Amino acid sequence: MDLTTIFTTLVMLGLVLTSAIFQLRALTWTGLLGAYLVVLTVSGYSSAALLVIFWIFYLAAAAFANLTVLRRRYLVGSLLPLLKKQMPVISDTEREALEAGNTWWEKELFSGSPEWDQLFSIPRPTLSPEEENFLNNQVEQLCSMLNDWQIMNELRDMPADVWSYLKKEKFLGMVIPKEYGGLGFSALAHSTIVVKIASRSISAAVNTMVPNSLGPAELLLHYGTDAQKAHYLPRLAKGEEIPCFALTAPDAGSDAGSIPDAGMVCKGELNGKEVLGIRLNWDKRYITLAPVATVLGLAFRMYDPDHLLGDKDDIGITLCLIPTKHPGVEIGNRHYPLQLAFMNGPTRGKDVFIPLDWIIGGVDMAGQGWRMLMECLSIGRSISLPALATATAKSAYRYTGAYARLRKQFNTPIASFEGIEEALGNIAGSTYILEATRIMTSGAVDLKVKPSIASAIAKYHMTEIARQVINHAMDVHAGHMIQVGPRNLLSSAYMAMPISITVEGANILTRNLIIFGQGATRCHPYLLKEVELITAEKPDIKALDRVLMSHIGFFVGNLLRNIAYSLTGGRFVFATVKNKRIRCYQRQLTRMSAALALMADTSLILLGGSLKRRERISARLGDVMSQLYLASAVLKYFHDEGSPKTDVDYVCWCLQYCLSKMQIASNDFLDNFPKRWVGKLLNWIIFPFGQVYRAPRDASYKKIVLPMLFANELRDRLTRHCFVGKDQSELSYRLDQALSQVPTVEPIIKKMHKAMQAGVVSSRHSFADRVVLATKAGVLTTDEADKLSVFESLRNEIIKVNEFSFDLAEIIA
């Protein structure tokens, strides 16, 4: 084959690639390729056999694309029965979940070619001056009032003055608009306030966040009648009413669509009058704030057997509000979730009669409860649990970094040991990812997006990352943090972590069924429309043909895009980030977006409806999508902060980490694809030269650990709104004070070590005696001796643990 043949062949492939990637219209690409083939034919193309092959493929593709009438009549129409069998069946509850909330940036990630400038153009989420003032004053004051040891182990509740302060300063009405007497704060403010409180007390944070997330206030704001809003919202804002929302039943947890609690439409007596209402029976558990609630939000299935409202027997899942003092309502007992002190317990009701106007939104919203819950869950799940996860990471970053710098083994700070450095590096990088994701996701809510898929990603991955962070922190602190007591800053976060993993959609469910299960249907540009057209009673063949042709173009475009990216290593992918190191990572994220689109489409085409039952396949695709989202949040945070040079090592570590997780998920997906030959083929297309992405290198750990070990802007920014005490009684204050003294005392410590090596002082002497001897010998000045003694006293106080009498009753009294 001569050079001319090679060149013209490459041009032909380039035209095909361009047409597919940019999804040119059928007439455009057929005209373009046809004209080029005519030119080759007329000019005497040197390889006649290759030219014939080109023409055969071209004519077949052109005929398929342009003979629309024949294609619709003989191909699409005849394939319709097969397509009906292949398509997943979407239940009513699944449809309501799919229709709840919005897609956002995650849809771009599914496209195979995300528009990064679109992400960077989203306004930076910021706190208002009023919100900043509230954080610096009311939240700071609240944190100073909290004693987590007392709350968890002595009172098993918040003190009365804390409850009063929460109500007085409207902490329970942060999301309620000012017109109803609330604070009217943004989602970002709500999230940040929870972060700060949680860095002081998880129990207090949960008691505070629940009324502001999935609960009566949120539901009333979106769906309540004017009368319901006017009655309840001012009372909720002032804390005159304490709300709870009851969804989980003993036999309906993650499968909330199978709620057994029922309400029958009937006539009954209320205040001496016969009215049309509902007779309810329920048995709920795990309900936060239920033991102290004054108003109960309830999810139940509503039936109308006597057709008093219409023709339907089963109206569907419905939500209502019931005063807890209403006859038949049972509350008061409590659960004790992993010894945390937030209020949580069961509620039951037997033959409780309520009027129809207690339905949230009135009778018109009867049967709409599942959609209402899914929409509000997408908001609450974007804020509350991600905030708790971020608070855990911020605390671990600030306290563990300082402790590792101050704690010594073999006369060396333990931060210098590579094993400790690895744990610290994971804490550091994870904290950056969590803070970036928290800000971006809560910012979406402030843009009036209901990010159903992004919130599921945030809930699952942020709580899982926080679980790894707290484990690393416990490993570094070792015995120091396994001894419970007032000196322990991490034990409550460690104990609380399984709760975050479990609630608001258990993590196993979220990963295996929701992230990709809903994400594919909502984010795919054509799938939902195809399902609707194919499963319709009278399918619109013309509309279906248009969608199928667009889908084919989308698939072929991503297939060719993957081939091009894999063969070139993604080096020529368009990227917009200015920093050269980070720009390389941005290109790889685009490459993996294309890989996700190809793997997802292949699964949908070949597995069809059975994909719903193949949870591991779905989970691994969801992992790739999720890591793309987390990486996007890191890029967005870096951009919004002004691309500071101090962050570059952190950003590179985070993006390398996310890419390595995508590699693992992709490998597992390809190795376990049900049709083995398809998995091998996809593997050759996406990763033709083997594994591309590996975990961050050892050297990168050292770079991101360093800012943890001394006072600096990056450390303060990443741990901003992490509560730090104001006096010596607080371990957080002592850690900061000691860390600030390290640069001053480090040269003095070196002098002492040299004096010991020279025999001026001996290790058999106590520290105090060594300081005195070194001062007398002229090794240290009096001022240096004083500074060293103060520092050592502070350091010893930091590494102390609590001691209790032999009678353990003292601990749990």
Per-residue pLDDT tens digits for 288-314: 999 999 999 999 999 999 999 999 999
272's torsion region: left (phi>0), alpha (psi -120 to 50) or beta? left
Selecting among 108, 375, 435, 504, the annotated active-site residue is 504
Average pLDDT over residues 368-397: 88
Instruction: Indicate if the pLDDT at residue 2 is higher than 70.
Output: no
Residue 404, pLDDT > 60, answer yes
pLDDT at 772: 87
pLDDT tens per residue across span 50-94: 778 888 888 888 887 777 787 787 788 777 787 777 766 666 666
Distance CA 377, CA 685 (A): 39
Residue 17 pLDDT > 90 = no
Q: What is the pLDDT of residue 101?
A: 65
Instruction: Report DSSP state, residue 761.
Output: S
Q: Summarize pLDDT for 414-451 with one digit per residue, the tens.
A: 999 999 999 999 999 999 999 999 999 999 999 988 88
Mean pLDDT calculated for residue range 337-354:
94
For residues 533 and 544, is the Cβ–Cβ distance under 8 A?
Answer: yes
The whole-angstrom distance between residue 189's C-alpha and the CA centroid of its chain comes to 17
| DSSP run (H or E) holding 133 | helix 129-134
Contact 297, 280 (CB under 8 A): no
Cβ-proximal residues to 561 (8 Å cutoff; 6+ apart), any chain: 20, 21, 112, 113, 594
Angle at 550 between CA 548 and CA 554, to 5 degrees: 115
Is 232's pLDDT higher than 80?
Answer: yes
Instruction: Answer yes or no: are the C-beta atoms of 407 and 478 closer than 8 Å.
Output: no
Q: What is the DSSP letter of 379?
A: H
pLDDT in tens, 456-472: 999 999 999 999 999 99
Q: Which residues contact 154 (CB under 8 A, 6 or more apart)?
A: 813
Q: Examine the pLDDT at 612 and tell me if it is beyond 80.
A: no
- pLDDT score, position 812: 53
In this structure, what DSSP letter does residue 152 have? I
Residue 130 one-letter amino acid: E
Average pLDDT over residues 612-626: 92
Q: Looking at the predicted structure, is the pLDDT value of residue 202 above 90?
A: yes
Checking if the pLDDT of 122 tops 90, the result is yes
In the predicted model, what is the mean pLDDT of the chain?
90
Q: Is 218 a catalytic residue?
A: no
pLDDT at residue 672 above 70?
yes
Question: Could you tell me the two tokens for 472?
Answer: 């690393």
Q: Which residues of 356-371 are buried (b: 16+ CB within 10 A; e: fewer)?
A: bebbbbbbebbbbbbb
266-297 burial by CB neighbour count: b if 16+ within 10 A, else e? Answer: eebeeeeeeeebbbbbbbbbbbbbbbbbbbbb
pLDDT average, residue stretch 112-132: 95
Residue type present at position 691: Q
Lowest mean pLDDT among 370-379, 596-605, 690-699: 370-379
pTM: 0.92
CA–CA dist 549, 589 (Å, integer): 27
End-to-end CA distance of the chain: 88
Rounded CA-CA distance 549/543 in Å is 10
The residue ranking higher by pLDDT, 208 or 91, is 208
Distance CA(781)–CA(759), nearest Å, equals 18
For residues 315 and 309, the answer to whether their CB atoms sit within 8 Å is: yes
The two tokens of residue 225 are: 């009648």
